Amino acid sequence: MNLLESGASIAQSATAAGFGSPAALRRAFLARYRVTPSGYQQRFRSTLAQHAQELSA
């Protein structure tokens, strides 16, 4: 599990990954993955919730 999937905030993830600021993480993440870190978190949470529902059905 990576930092953004762990439930850590964007600021916590930026600090832990060695970025100088959340804005620096956002720029690098957007350039590499074409989605913002918060957008990635939302997508991950949505996918995780969907899998949990499938498992409980």
Phi, psi dihedrals of residue 20, rounded to the nearest 5°? -70, -20
State the pTM of this model: 0.67
pLDDT band of residue 4 (cuts 50, 70, 90) is: low
The DSSP string of 21-37 is: SHHHHHHHHHHHHSS-H
Q: Which CATH architecture has domain 3-56?
A: Orthogonal Bundle (1.10)
pLDDT per residue as tens digits for the range 15-34: 988 999 999 999 999 999 99
Q: Where are the domains of the chain?
A: 3-56
HSE-CB at 12 with a 13 A cutoff on CA atoms is: 8
